[in-house]
Amino acid sequence: MINYALTSTPIGKLLLVKSNNGLSHIIFEQKIKQFESTTMRDFPDIKISNDFNSLSSEIKQLTEYFTGKRKNFNIQLDLKLPPFYQKVINKVKEIPYGKYQTYQDIASKAGNSKAYRAAGSANARNPIPIIIPCHRVLAKGGKLGGYGGGIKIKKYLLNLEGIQ
């Protein structure tokens, strides 16, 4: 079973998707339309349900984050990524609130300091932004780099956490 729910945030609507194993996706507003058709195609035999109650804890924690009351999340995740991407995402999860690291820092911590572009690609495929704080990963010299939700949202999240 896959449950999903839409919630409004200061950065726009977010679609949260949860499997039986945990939160599997947070989808930015501009990409929501793709969700149902892609999910139905990829999982034709799985029941898909719009169920706000099943995601109430995750939505509450996101609301607390956006109001400055939460710096860490306590959410069960369901990640399915290639092995190096999984290592990168696990290192990104360790970046503390209000801090940032570079793509090269993350690549090095994931076991290959020269794979900073692959670390960038892993961040681009991060299925659970905000909870897995890929917005805290910057290019060398503090440049923003890219972000799945757009640079405006990345700047907002960094500012929210006090990162200038």
Q: Annotated active-site positions, please? A: 134
Per residue in 64-113, pLDDT tens? Answer: 999 999 999 999 999 989 999 999 999 999 999 999 999 999 999 999 88
Domain count, the chain: 2
- Return the pLDDT at 107: 93
Per residue in 26-37, pLDDT tens? Answer: 999 988 887 777
Q: Is 23 left (phi over 0), alpha (psi -120 to 50) or beta?
A: beta
- Return the pLDDT at 100: 95
The last residue of one of the domains, among 39, 66, 93, is 66
What is the C-alpha to C-alpha distance for residues 59 and 48, in angstroms, rounded to an integer? 18
In this structure, are 120 and 94 located in the same domain?
Answer: yes
**What is the residue whose two structure tokens read 């839409």?**
6
Task: Indicate whether 78 belongs to any domain.
Answer: no
In this structure, are 149 and 94 located in the same domain?
Answer: yes
What is the C-alpha to C-alpha distance for residues 164 and 46, in angstroms, rounded to an integer? 43
- Return the pLDDT at 61: 98
What domain range includes position 44?
Answer: 2-66
What pTM value is reported for the model? 0.91
Q: Where residue 57 sits, what CATH number does that domain have? A: 3.30.160
Task: Indicate whether 73 belongs to any domain.
Answer: no
Q: Is the pLDDT of residue 11 over 90?
A: yes
